[in-house]
Amino acid sequence: MGFVEEVKTGNFSLYGHLLGLLSGVLLIVLAAVTFIAHVLYSILGIVFGAICIIIEIPLLLRICPTGPTVDRVFGGLKNHWWRFVAYLAFAVVMWSSLAKGGGVLAIGAATVTLAALCYFIAAVRKQSKVTMSILGGTGTRSANGIPNSQFVPI
């Protein structure tokens, strides 16, 4: 099952995962662009973007040696409700940048808000946690029930 088939599954956990990755990249890029004009919000955007990427790419947490404190902090974010709360907090902070004239940062705030909404819907529907298989995640299950991670890429 490829990328398109995974997206067509209707699992909001996967949509939240994709939007979380997009949010991380956008927050870092847009914060770097507006760094001179909005130093505080740019630093927060870079930190929030890095956290989004670390949360959403399971391979990064496997590669990096972590201690019990890091495992405790990021381990709790495996739950949909915790991710919803974290992304909602990120979104509120980034939306508040509009009060200081950080217009372009609203793009990052919008994607973080959409990611929070997707994780909220996934939590309400009690959908299983799904991450993209191409990023070292679980992937969605194929029609015959075999996880995609067991297939050998061609």
Q: What is the pLDDT of residue 143?
A: 33
Note the pLDDT of residue 135.
59
Residues of the chain below pLDDT 70: 1-7, 61, 64-66, 70-78, 131-154
pLDDT, residue 95, reads 93
pLDDT at 2: 64
Structure confidence at residue 1 (pLDDT):
56
What is the pLDDT at residue 153?
Answer: 37
CA distance 41 to 118: 24
| Ramachandran angles phi, psi of 147, nearest 5° | -60, 145
The predicted model scores a pTM of: 0.77
Q: What is the pLDDT of residue 118?
A: 92
Amino acid in position 98: L
What are the C-alpha distances in Å from 69 to residues 8, 81, 82?
37, 20, 17
**pLDDT at 147 (0 to 100):** 47
Cα angle 9, 15, 20; round to 5: 155
